[in-house]
Chain A
Amino acid sequence: DGGITQSPKYLFRKEGQNVTLSCEQNLNHDAMYWYRQDPGQGLRLIYYSQIVNDFQKGDIAEGYSVSREKKESFPLTVTSAQKNPTAFYLCASSMSPGSNYGYTFGSGTRLTVV
């Protein structure tokens, strides 16, 4: 059963701590994306990767980092430089850049600063 798996579902971060959110897909999709969702603001793009070993900053990349060493995996690290990290994080993938099939989304990770 193909899809995107995000883990963990809930994550708590202490002040000054880095945390990594996992995103794995078995859809053989080339492109992967990370979005941040805040109430009333819709989805904002953090980073995206259209091929392995390459990624680009989105609209709100500051305080975040990513890697794309494998086609299946696109982890997101929320660093201590991100001053307001509490949000719902969504990972998505698409067959290829520009695919008119749109995106497939994971079920999200809710990050809370404690």
Chain B
Amino acid sequence: AQSVAQPEDQVNVAEGNPLTVKCTYSVSGNPYLFWYVQYPNRGLQFLLKYITGDNLVKGSYGFEAEFNKSQTSFHLKKPSALVSDSALYFCAEMDSSYKLIFGSGTRLLVRP
């Protein structure tokens, strides 16, 4: 079965420092990959996606993600973290039935 792994339950980073939230996927071939962000008691908001093309994908709020086929990874990055980036982040891939399979989520805490 397809799966998405987010190996870190929580990532802590100081404001102004770069951040990385890790994600690995399982589908072979050409995956459709997504990152979403969730603020408390809210739905998920789309950040960015990889469908095809450049391995570095740019998205909302200064986030970007790097697709690495050999490592089956799609890590979320931002050069300079803000306190307001603190939230729950989900990685997802689309399965063969066109459903999104989500990882377990990573909580990002940015300290002032």
Contact = CB atoms under 8 A, between A and B. Distances in A.
Interface stretch (B11-19, B37-45, B63-71, B74-82): B37-45
A19 B43 CA distance: 20
Interface string B33-67: 01010000111111001010000000000000000
A42 B100 contact: no
A105 B45 contact: yes
B13 to A, nearest CB: 21
Interface residues of B, number: 23
Instruction: Give the interface size class of chain A.
Output: 20 to 34
Nearest to A56: B97
B43 A90 contact: yes
A2 interface: no
Nearest to B42: A107
Contact of B99 (A33, A100, A106, A108): A33
Contacts of B97: 97
Contact of A42 (B34, B41, B42, B102): B102
B41 A90 contact: no
A8 interface: no
A71 interface: no
B100 A100 contact: no
Contacts of B51: 100
Nearest to A42: B104
A101 B99 CA distance: 12
A11 B51 CA distance: 38
Given A92-B43, A110-B41, 20 more contacts: A4-B43, A40-B9, A40-B105, A41-B104, A42-B102, A43-B102, A45-B99, A48-B99, A88-B41, A92-B44, A99-B98, A100-B49, A101-B49, A102-B46, A103-B44, A104-B46, A105-B43, A107-B41, A107-B43, A108-B42
Interface of A: 4, 6, 31, 33, 35, 40-43, 45, 48, 50, 58, 88, 90, 92, 94, 97-108, 110
Interface of B: 9, 32, 34, 36, 41-46, 49, 51, 90, 92, 94, 97-100, 102-105
